[in-house]
Homo-oligomer: A and B are copies of this chain.
Amino acid sequence: VITKNQIKLIKSLALKKNRIKHQLFVAEGVKIAEELLNSDYEIVSLFATRDWIARNTFDTVIQVSNAELSRISNQKSPDEVLMLVKIKKHQIIDDNGITLVLDDINNPGNLGTIIRMCDWFGVKQIICSKNTVDNYNPKVVQSAMGSVFRINVIYTDLTEYLSNVEKPIYGAYMDGNNVRDINFSKDLHLVMGNEANGISKEIDQYISGNVAIKNIGNSAESLNVAVATSILLHEICS
């Protein structure tokens, strides 16, 4: 059984200010629960249906009916289990590899996909501008499908951060050089800009190399930023 106060708390976590206040976020679903239980994140509360409880062990599970789960879930089709998880504040690690830098990515589905692709391509950390959508936003957590528990995501002032980077810093521009023509080192930063406006003016000066994905058909005007990031990471990492 779930209390009114629990429902109120869970609903409140849709907003970033409440996630910060309580230092909690929501994660849902059977697959994500499995990955979360194998991670070093701390699950503070776990609400699950009888079916989930029959197949899993967790110390202090709170059993809920399907109707109760529907009341607290953000999903159209709630999937057996919902968890309240303690936020982890990531530190910048000194990584000899690819670091992805996000300059004001707004759409949570895009950030989720980008986190997922970093996990796929072995990129360990993402440095985000302070205006980039929060990685503990419920839509980010769901679309990243568990990868959010494995990738370091850090929010910081990008101009300050980039001014101290000594590795090559590539930036994605519509009119950049064809990514296929560039020989990348295995130790670099890649900056992706905002969905509508691209890389911001203050950041331009830190970019040492422009990259683009060639528009072969020459009729579509733009690429989705998550797809563009995926193509560039594949090109650089594979």
Partner-B contacts on A (CB < 8 A): 113, 116-123, 145-147, 150, 178-180, 213-220, 222-224, 226-227, 230-231, 234-235, 237-238
Contact = CB atoms under 8 A, between A and B. Distances in A.
Contact of A120 (B121, B145, B215): B215
A70 to B, nearest CB: 22
Given A213-B238, A216-B237, 6 more contacts: A113-B227, A119-B217, A120-B216, A120-B217, A146-B220, A178-B238
A145 to B, nearest CB: 8
A140 to B, nearest CB: 15
Contact of A219 (B147, B222, B224, B238): B147
B216 A121 contact: yes
A122 B217 contact: yes
Nearest to A124: B217
A226 B113 CA distance: 11
A234 B231 contact: yes
Nearest to A118: B217
A179 to B, nearest CB: 8
Contacts of A122: 216-218
A237 B147 CA distance: 29
Closest 4 CB pairs of A and B: A122-B217, A122-B216, A119-B220, A120-B220
A20 B38 CA distance: 48
A232 to B, nearest CB: 9
Contacts of A119: 217, 219-220
Contacts of A146: 220
Nearest to A149: B219
A228 B74 CA distance: 27
Nearest to A180: B238
B219 A150 contact: yes
A11 B238 CA distance: 46
B214 A113 contact: no
A220 B147 contact: yes
A102 to B, nearest CB: 17
